[in-house]
Amino acid sequence: MKNRVLIVIGDAAETLDTMYPYYRLIEGGFEPVVAAPEKRRYQMVLHEVKPGWTITKEWEGYSIEADVAFSEIDPQDYLGIFYSGGRAPEYIREDPDLIRITQFFFEKQAPIASVCHGVEIPARAGCVTGRRMATVPKCKFDLEVCGGIFVDEPCVVDGNLVSGRTYHDHGHFVGPWIQLLEEAQRS
């Protein structure tokens, strides 16, 4: 039974955006597979808008080993995909293999989840036209300029696509995404 699920990261992926779904997948009986530009260790970060600040402050977070490079991925081997947030999506969204993988999951209508800056990847891949998604307000432009519809809610479900704004929303949108994975696994 296929139970492997991709988690897309790069350097400066947000720690909670990555680790929360990683462990939730394990709890749900799925195998999280960390995917990145290269198969190596990546440095994650912590993001928060501190009281009195108007911009995000960044701290060094945990590091994580990528299990597979984008170029090595046959997306047919995976049940679904998760786009982690942080600054990584801005830097990895131009990767042609990541664009190929992203387009596959959207065309297949597989379970997809995105949080925070993760929206920049499907937006760049041309997959958000007419789709409702949550993201951080500063990524609203990235979503809308690519034809997506910004929704400022903790959980937005648009068919096979589930999204949240930041790690503060994980308790709202990761569960519905896991349910989509369970349904896909049964079919």
Summarised one tens digit per residue, pLDDT across range 15-70 is 999 999 999 999 999 999 999 999 999 999 998 878 888 888 888 999 999 999 99
Domains of the chain: 4-186 (3.40.50.880)
Residues noted as catalytic:
117
Model confidence over 134-165: pLDDT tens digits?
Answer: 999 999 999 999 999 999 999 999 999 999 99
Decide: pTM greater than 0.85: yes
User: Rounded CA gap, 154 and 37, in Å?
Assistant: 29
